[in-house]
Amino acid sequence: MANEFRVDSLLPPEMATRAEYVGIRKAEMDAISTFVLAVLAGAFIAMGAIFATTVTTGTGALPYGLRKLLGGLVFCLGLILVVLAGAELFTGNNLIVMAWASGKVSTARLLRNWGIVYVGNFVGATSTALFMFLTRQYTFAGGEIGRVALSIAAAKTGLDFGQAVALGMMCNALVCLAVWLTLGARTVVDKISAIIFPITAFVAAGFEHSVANMYFVPIGLLVKGLDPNFAAGTGLDLSGLTWANFLLHNLLPVTIGNIIGGSLLVAIVYWFIFLRR
């Protein structure tokens, strides 16, 4: 029957065709709509980061793996909001490469989308960091939330360049696999289920996500710069937590890694298998 209702998920060849179609739509969207949706995505990922920071505060008595697992589970909120509420996320949009490889999206359109979305994600995530600083939520739990936030930010700005690229590659391979799986889903529950394990895995493993870092590091920088007494009281070594280190030694290499991981390890592989002519 032509109108037969199906509850089973799409098969991978159908998912590839859908990914190509979605990529075309994203590339053709007007700049203003793309930018606003990208701002939303940056804020949504930041909400996942806020949730993870808050929930993992005070879990020092737990084994390392359980703490990371807990943080990863709650961080899933970010991509769930992006996929279900509708938003434009730079890392997920690496899948547009599938439509580009088929010749259905030009290089200019691909780079235009990535550029607008990346800037929008940065605005959304860093604005959320500023709002969170103003709430002084970092002082909750006797200041332990702020200490955790500063510790995360300092660790991220202390990564080696090559290490950050590799961690970014692994991260976005999992993020794009999560988005890829949602393309086969038919219900809200399906989509949430598809997101949980890949996203939990990348967070638990300590991989690096450029858009998440647009929140994680700026909130630490804001606390250090605008509330120096609090930062000094944590006893943490924050000498490497600077805007220059964030932009050049974290965000840049992690972004490079994210592009490689999403575009080459996922998008091109599935294009080659299902869509090459």
The pLDDT tens digits of the residues spanning 205-259 come to 999 999 999 999 999 999 999 999 999 999 999 999 999 999 999 999 999 999 9
Instruction: Round to whole Å and give the CA distance between 216 and 219.
Output: 6
In order of their start, the domains of the chain are 12-274 (1.20.1080.10)
The encoded tokens of residue 39 equal 């701002």
The pTM assigned to this predicted structure is 0.96
Q: What is the pLDDT of residue 277?
A: 79
Residue 9: its pLDDT value, please? 86
Higher-confidence residue: 164 or 6? 164
Cβ-count burial 199-209 (b if 16+ within 10 Å, e if not)? bbbbbbeebbb
Range in 7-11, 127-131, 150-154, 215-219 with the lowest mean pLDDT: 7-11
pLDDT tens-place string over residues 88-145: 999 999 999 999 999 999 999 999 999 999 999 999 999 999 999 999 999 999 999 9
Quick one: pLDDT at residue 5? Answer: 53
**Amino acid residing at 15:** M
Say if residue 11 is exposed, middle or buried (CB neighbours under 10 Å; 0-12, 13-18, 19+).
exposed
> What is the number of other CB atoms lying within 10 angstroms of the CB of residue 261?
28
Classify residue 136 as left (phi > 0), alpha (psi -120 to 50) or beta.
Answer: left
pLDDT in tens, 38-74: 999 999 999 999 999 999 999 989 999 999 999 999 9
277 within 8 A of 19, measured Cβ to Cβ? no
Distances (CA, A) of 79 to 29, 48, 75, 112, 150: 21, 8, 8, 22, 23
pLDDT value at 4 more than 60? no
Is the pLDDT at 2 greater than 80? The verdict is: no
Helix (H, G, I), strand (E, B) or coil at 199: helix
Band (185; pLDDT cuts 50, 70, 90): very high
**pLDDT band for position 13 (cuts 50, 70, 90):** very high
Instruction: End-to-end CA distance of the chain: give it in Å, rounded.
Output: 30
pLDDT confidence of residue 1: 42
